Structure formats: C-alpha cells, structure tokens
C-alpha cells in the first residue's frame, strides 16, 4: 500500500488552517465593531471592547521593535501569508504596519482617535501599553507587564506620569490592566506579570502622581487572568483580593465573555 510521506501532508494541512484562520480573523473586527456601535457604544468604547477580547486589530499598529519581527517571523508565507505591507512578496496589504515611537501620539486612520505607545517590561521582554484618546478623554490599555520593583525599572510609572494630568482632570475613563495570578504568587515566579497586590501598589502610584483622591469610581478592567488547571478558577479569589485592598475607591471589573461596557 502506497502512502504519502508525512512531510507532503504538512503544507496542505497548514494551508487549510491558514485559510480558515485568516477568514475568521478578517471577519472579527468589522463584525465586532459594527455590533458594538449598534449596541450603543461610542467608537472609543468599541475599540476598547475589541482590545479586551481579541489580540489583532484590523490595522495593526506595532512598536518599532516588533515591526521587523512581524514581517520576518509571522507574515512570511511560512507561518502566515504576508497580510502586511512590508516584508516577503507578495504583500497582501490587509494589515498596514505603522511604526510607533514611544510617547508620540499617532492618529488612528479614519477615526477621531489617536494612540500613544509606551514600552513595558515583561520579564525581560519588551511589551507595550497603549493610551487611546478621543475628544480629550483617554483609556489606558496595558499589555503584559511585571511590576516595576520586580522588573527593576520604571516602565509602569512612566505610563502613569504621562497620564497623571488627564487623571487629575477626570479625563481618564478606564484602565485595562493585567492580573495573571492571585497575590500569593511569589515575585520570583511572576514571569513578567501582575497580581492584585501589585496592581493596588501601582494604582497608588498613579493616584499620588495625580494629586491624590483622583481614582474614585474609575473603572479598572482586569485582563489576562490565567485559568487554573484545577476546578477552582482564580476570578472569584482575585476579585476578593482586589476588594480587600481597594482603599482608592476604584471600580474593579472582572470581565465575562459577552459583557458590554460603556466608559464615560
């Protein structure tokens, strides 16, 4: 009986997977955005909603250090077709890559919004925080990040310093920030992530920079919660830990799939 060599099947299976994954990706953003707008969200709220559940935007904005990696590692016609506008030909130009310089505001095409990127430290690897602004109001979205004292830097403080004035003016409408583990996680095993304990310490730093008593009722959405391999999941405990240390009066949100938020 003749059989196909294993390596001869790899490319067809990979191509089918890429086609299915690509088709799903191309429909996610326009459908999510239109449904979100129809549900009463503003354009800014719709972007925040998409950021909370998906990891790729219709127009990828990458920090300079990641742009080359996207072209060489992902959109290279081996891992993925080249959906970008640079790198290996043919370039499908579905996701134009725009280099973001840290701390420099860049308009978001075809919107009234702008975005500013800030570098974060993720266990020795650079991650990114985004400050999205619309009509003077801002939302801050943190990618993976460890606490400054553990990472031995000031990356989180740098973000807070940049938004302190807006916070004092009540122009900061929400923070989306990660908490991968509960607070009993040893610092040596955070691997570039936060816990409720470290979130509260960092929020105190923002409050101090904003003049004090500046965060009351501010929505803080907890992202990147790592699911447990046991029956007991960390969400409930994480919510209890945040509530126990919440002397700033912020409004913590533990997201559930399908929730809608309107920050105003």
pLDDT, tens digit, for every residue of 34-91?
766 776 777 776 666 655 544 444 344 545 556 666 677 777 787 788 899 988 889 9
pLDDT in tens, 224-261: 998 877 788 899 999 999 999 999 999 999 988 888 88
Instruction: Say yes or no to pLDDT of 183 above 70.
Output: yes
Q: Which of 18-27, 191-200, 231-240 has the lowest mean pLDDT?
A: 18-27
Residue 147's closest CA among 106, 98, 204, 109? 204
> Residue 116: its pLDDT value, please?
97
pLDDT at 13 (0 to 100) = 45
Residues in the chain, total: 264
Mean pLDDT of the chain: 84
Instruction: Note the helical H segments in the chain.
Output: 6-38, 43-53, 64-69, 148-151, 155-168, 196-209, 235-245
SS3 252: strand
If pLDDT is split at 50, 70 and 90, which confidence band does 139 have? Answer: very high
CA distances from 149 to 126, 187, 202 (A): 16, 10, 10
Question: HEC profile for 100-140?
Answer: ECCCCEEECCCCCEEEEEEEEEECCEEEEEEEEEECCEEEE
pLDDT of 31 over the 60 cut: yes
Which residue, 140, 237, 218, 219, is CA-closest to 179? 237
Percent of the chain, pLDDT > 70?
76
The percent of residues above 90 in pLDDT, for the chain, comes to 56
The predicted structure's pLDDT at residue 231: 80
Q: What is the pLDDT, as a whole number, of residue 36? A: 67
Checking if the pLDDT of 10 tops 50, the result is no
Which whole number is the average pLDDT over 100-128? 94
Lowest mean pLDDT among 20-34, 84-98, 191-205, 222-236: 20-34
Whose tokens are 């990696």? That residue is: 69
Name which of 166, 155, 106, 95 is nearest 128 in CA terms.
155
CB atoms < 10 A from the CB of 23, how many?
10
- How far apart, in whole angstroms, are the C-alpha atoms of residue 16 and residue 3? 20
Who's near 184: CB < 8 A, 6+ residues apart? none
Per the CB < 8 A criterion, the answer to whether 108 and 48 are in contact is no
pTM of the model as a whole: 0.71
CATH 3.60.15.10 fits 100-253, yes or no: yes
């Amino acid at each position: 009986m003749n059989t196909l060599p294993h390596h001869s099947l790899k490319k067809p299976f990979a191509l089918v997977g890429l086609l299915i994954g690509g088709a799903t990706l191309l429909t996610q953003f326009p459908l999510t955005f239109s449904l979100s707008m129809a549900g009463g969200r503003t354009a800014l709220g719709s972007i925040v909603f998409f950021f909370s559940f998906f990891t790729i935007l219709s127009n990828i904005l990458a920090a300079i250090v990641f742009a080359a990696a996207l072209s060489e590692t992902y959109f290279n016609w081996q891992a993925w077709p080249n959906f970008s506008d640079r790198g290996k030909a043919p370039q499908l130009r579905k996701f134009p890559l725009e280099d973001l310089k840290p701390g420099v505001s860049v308009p978001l095409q075809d919107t009234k919004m702008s975005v500013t990127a800030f570098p974060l430290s993720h266990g020795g690897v650079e991650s990114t925080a985004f400050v999205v602004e619309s009509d003077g109001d801002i939302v801050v979205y943190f990618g993976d990040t460890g606490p400054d004292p553990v990472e031995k830097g000031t990356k989180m403080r740098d973000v807070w310093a940049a938004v302190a004035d807006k916070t004092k003016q009540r122009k900061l409408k929400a923070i989306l920030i990660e908490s991968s583990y509960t607070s009993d996680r040893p610092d040596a095993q955070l691997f570039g992530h936060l816990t409720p304990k470290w979130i509260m310490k960092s929020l105190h730093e923002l409050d101090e920079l904003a003049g004090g008593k500046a965060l009351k009722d501010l929505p803080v959405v907890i992202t990147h919660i790592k699911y447990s391999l046991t029956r007991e999941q960390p969400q409930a405990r994480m919510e209890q830990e945040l509530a126990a240390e919440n002397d700033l009066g912020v409004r913590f949100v533990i997201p559930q799939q399908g929730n809608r938020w309107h920050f105003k």
